[in-house]
Amino acid sequence: MKRILITGAAGFLGSHLCDRFIKEGFYVIGMDNLITGDLKNIAHLFPLENFEFHNHDVTTYVHISGNLDYILHFASPASPIDYLKIPIQTLKVGALGTHNLLGLAKEKKARILIASTSEIYGDPLVHPQKESYYGNVNTIGPRGVYDEAKRFQESITMAYNRFHGLETRIVRIFNTYGPRMRLNDGRVIPAFMGQALRGEDLTVFGDGSQTRSFCYVDDQVEGIYRLLFSEYDLPVNIGNPHEISILDFAQEIIKLTETNQKIIFKPLPKDDPLQRQPDISLAKKLFNWTPKVDRAEGMKITFDYFKSLSEEELFRSEH
């Protein structure tokens, strides 16, 4: 049985990756310090014989006994609200955490895939974003803690690849959504859906003309899975190119949730990218990946998930 370590296992993407690798017959070692994650996302895996969980902060030395074939490094706060609240931990998990996991991969001769992000393109001046674009990041702005940690993460990963001959993969993830996102994590989809369910006005930041392109989690997991087993070691974008403005998206959510909420406007956070759309021609060429789930279908599944949460969870406000 092949053994894989997944960091950030109790988070949104990490928990779906655990499910996928369990389904594929792997022995899965989940690791998380629960800073933004929740054990309930992986509670169903605890009884399984091919799953174990380590409550551990990856910015400190990571030890795993026995062999390891693969590592997926997904530990990191991912929502702007989270990384603004815990900026130093965000920098540390991208830098020190990645260094520890690369060291572990080297020791175990494991292939490692790290979770990078469309945020490395910053507020992009090229549209849509291709992997060859170097980005436009404000290093000292509030979002810099995340963007620069992820840029460093890519650099150190390529250094281990070139200097130590380590087998590495880098996925640049564009806005991904689905069940198990934290209702109060501040990202736009849980924010709007939570507001609709609580009967609150939807908060659009700025004038809502900024764009995003939302990818359903199953498509993202499939892309990551194919990338891991591909022979390509430079960064690859995985996301859904179907772009929408945040104002139009708010209107879509009002329709979907069949609520009559109003839209209210709040200031645009500093350095909030004005446009974002992945160019996914490389993923298509390398491993024939394209997203399959359209926004209407994915949003419906996600809304059903948020609707199924308890009143207590719905009204618990962390921010």
Which positions are annotated as active-site residues?
146
Asked if residue 105 binds ligand NAD (CB under 6 A), the reply is no
Asked if residue 153 binds ligand NAD (CB under 6 A), the reply is no
Q: Which amino acid is at 209?
A: S
- What share of residues in the chain are helix, strand, coil (percent, to 5)? 40, 20, 40
Hey, what are 199's tokens? Answer: 């009967």
Asked if residue 205 binds ligand UDP (CB under 6 A), the reply is yes
Asked if residue 189 binds ligand NAD (CB under 6 A), the reply is no
Nearest-CA neighbor of 31 among 1, 60, 2?
A: 60
Asked if residue 191 binds ligand UDP (CB under 6 A), the reply is yes
Q: Which is nearer to ligand NAD, 146 or 303 (CB)?
A: 146
Stretch that binds ligand NAD, among 11-19, 137-145, 221-229, 290-298 (CB under 6 A): 11-19
Residue with tokens 């054990």: 39
Nearest-CA neighbor of 83 among 149, 150, 146?
A: 146
Phi, psi for 7 (deg, rounded to 5): -90, 150
Asked if residue 183 binds ligand NAD (CB under 6 A), the reply is no
Hey, what are 121's tokens? Answer: 């393109």
Instruction: Tell me which of 30, 77, 273, 278 binds ligand NAD, using CB under 6 A.
Output: 77
Asked if residue 204 binds ligand UDP (CB under 6 A), the reply is yes
Hey, what are 283's tokens? Answer: 């993923």
Q: Which is nearer to ligand UDP, 201 or 297 (CB)?
A: 201
Asked if residue 34 binds ligand NAD (CB under 6 A), the reply is yes
Strand bridging mode 3-7 / 70-73? parallel
Degrees, nearest 5: CA angle 94-76-157: 35
Grouping H, G, I as helix, E, B as strand and the rest as coil, residue 211 is: strand
Instruction: Tell me which of 98, 161, 175, 240 binds ligand NAD, using CB under 6 A.
Output: 175
| Residue 257 beta carbon to ligand NAD: minimum distance, rounded to whole angstroms | 21
Asked if residue 76 binds ligand NAD (CB under 6 A), the reply is yes
Name which of ligand NAD, ligand UDP, none residue 71 binds, using a CB cut-off of 5 to 8 Å depending on partner kind: none
Element spanning 149, H or E: helix 144-164
Q: Which amino acid is at 289?
A: W
Q: Tell which positions 38-57 bind ligand NAD, by CB under 6 A.
A: 57
Distance CA 212, CA 231 (A): 29
Q: Are residues 295 and 215 in contact, defined by beta-carbon separation less than 8 angstroms?
A: no
Asked if residue 157 binds ligand NAD (CB under 6 A), the reply is no
Q: Tell which positions 72-131 bind ligand UDP, by CB under 6 A.
A: 79-80
Q: Which amino acid is at 24?
A: E
Instruction: Tell me which of 4, 26, 51, 97 binds ligand NAD, using CB under 6 A.
Output: 97
Asked if residue 212 binds ligand UDP (CB under 6 A), the reply is yes
Binding residues for ligand UDP, rule: CB under 6 A, are 79-80, 175, 186-188, 191, 203-205, 210, 212, 246, 269, 272
